[in-house]
Amino acid sequence: MELHPIAIWIKNSNQDKIINNKKEYHQPGDVQIVYQKNRNEEIKNRRKHFNKITKIKKEIFLDIMKVGGVAALNSISIATTMLVTTTFISKYGTEAIAGYGVCARLEQTLIPLAFGIGGVLTSAVGTNFGAEQFSRARKAAWLGALLIGILAGLIGMTVFISPSLWLDFFTTNPEAYIIGALYLGIVGPFFPIFAFGKTLYFASQGTGNMIIPIFGGITRLVIVSIIGFISVSVVGKPNIICKKLLV
């Protein structure tokens, strides 16, 4: 049976390849040398690619610090504000510290509440800001902040009207209870403002401009420090005020 000319050509081509391979690798050691050479080239290329990815670029580092580094100042200002406030309240006794601490925890729970929407706003505002859709970015930020402000307002007015809903979970001490109820009665109605501003703080991270939010946090710290010092040092003695509250 005669083979088709195309089949004969394919057969001869395969035989030529086998012969050429035998000539190229006429010794077993040659195969190992070629394999090792190719392997080294592969490792070298992977290493170059890895170094290219992990190389720290000045521009990228500055972009990260422009938002993340500056945003860290906001967390520091919040912690410092609580520290300063606790220092002032400590002059009124341990019961006052307990009452303030219980209510300050409620205030701090507004931060993760704001982050629930604010984290999404960071991406939404950043995407629209990068696409130069400034109107959409602004609308998204205001809408998210308004939603969180309403939720925080409901919480604040609830504890303002009935502080026992929160205080009964933590204390039965009458002095701590009075300080806590007084705190919620004054600060509770302002919970919406705190949550509203905190949500806009997260949204502003999408713009890359953190000057205004950080300025607001530092301003809050300065106001608390000044008014707190005046209240403790000038207005009246802590013991006298506590006695009046307990009467």
The yes-or-no verdict on residue 207 having pLDDT over 70 is: yes
Confidence at 212, pLDDT banded by 50, 70, 90: confident
Q: Which residue has the higher pLDDT, 87 or 49?
A: 87
Tokens found for residue 34: 């070629």
Tell me the pLDDT tens digit for each residue of 3-32: 444 444 444 444 444 444 444 444 455 545
Confidence at 146, pLDDT banded by 50, 70, 90: very high
Tell me the pLDDT tens digit for each residue of 156-166: 899 999 888 88
Tokens found for residue 113: 């509440």
pLDDT given at position 5: 47
Confidence at 99, pLDDT banded by 50, 70, 90: confident
Helix 94-108, helix 174-187: angle, nearest 10: 40
Confidence at 60, pLDDT banded by 50, 70, 90: low
Tell me the pLDDT tens digit for each residue of 113-142: 888 888 888 888 888 887 888 888 888 889
- Angle CA(189)–CA(195)–CA(199) in degrees, nearest 5? 160
